[in-house]
């Protein structure tokens, strides 16, 4: 546990789902209605360095989160994202998964989804055709 970490000591009233290794809570700065975070109780900054059991527990909560959000908010889709390290946009140095409900019409054109982390590369369907790697 890291006393300075905002995810290490969650207030009980903020936990909406939990299992032995992870918990879920609403994001304090939501992108959409129902935006959840799935967070391991153990302080680890990098999702890819979490134990396999922690990762499995997080994915189990992801499934539970989908059921809860489907029931409460009736989204039309989801974006699920994990930022690993500062270069990828991670701003809280405690591993977490964003579960972002999406609603029809919330943006004019949702194609590309998470590809928009690098906007100029997102619209691959408009890019000129490329040759296959190692082709002549």
DSSP secondary structure letters along 69-122: HHHHH--SEEEEE---SGGGT--SSS--EEEEEE-TTSSS--TTGGGGGSHHHH
Averaged pLDDT, 28-57? 98
Q: What is the pLDDT of residues 55-90, one digit of tens each?
A: 999 999 999 999 999 999 999 999 999 999 999 999
Judge whether 5 lies within some domain.
Answer: no
Residues in the chain: 136
Judge whether 118 lies within some domain.
Answer: yes
- Tokens at 50, concatenated: 């979490």
Contacts of 84 (CB under 8 A, 6+ apart): 46, 47, 48, 90, 95
For the chain, percent of residues with pLDDT exceeding 90: 80
Judge whether 6 lies within some domain.
Answer: no
What is the residue range of 55's domain?
12-126
Strand 22-26 to 15-18 pairing: antiparallel
Judge whether 134 lies within some domain.
Answer: no
Catalytic sites, residue numbers: 96
| Cα distance between residue 5 and residue 3, in whole Å | 6
- Binned at pLDDT 50, 70 and 90, residue 37 comes out as very high
Judge whether 131 lies within some domain.
Answer: no
Average pLDDT, the chain: 93
pTM score of the predicted model: 0.89
Number of domain units in the chain: 1
Judge whether 110 lies within some domain.
Answer: yes
- Binned at pLDDT 50, 70 and 90, residue 121 comes out as confident
Judge whether 136 lies within some domain.
Answer: no
- Give the CATH number, domain containing residue 122: 3.30.428.10
Q: How many CB atoms lie under 10 A from the CB of residue 74?
A: 10
Judge whether 7 lies within some domain.
Answer: no
* 3-class secondary-structure state, position 59: helix
Averaged pLDDT, 15-24? 98
């Amino acid at each position: 546990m890291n006393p300075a970490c905002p995810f290490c000591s969650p207030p009980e009233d903020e936990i909406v789902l939990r299992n032995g290794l992870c918990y879920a809570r609403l994001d304090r700065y939501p992108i959409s209605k129902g935006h959840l975070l799935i967070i391991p109780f153990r302080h680890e900054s990098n999702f890819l360095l979490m134990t396999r059991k922690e990762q499995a527990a997080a994915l189990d909560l992801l499934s539970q989160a989908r059921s809860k959000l489907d029931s409460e908010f009736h989204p039309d889709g989801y974006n699920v994202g994990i930022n690993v390290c500062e270069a990828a946009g991670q701003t809280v140095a405690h591993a977490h998964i964003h579960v972002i409900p999406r609603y029809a019409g919330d943006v004019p054109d949702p194609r590309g989804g998470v590809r928009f982390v690098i906007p100029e590369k997102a619209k691959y369907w408009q890019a000129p055709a490329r040759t296959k790697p190692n082709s002549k």
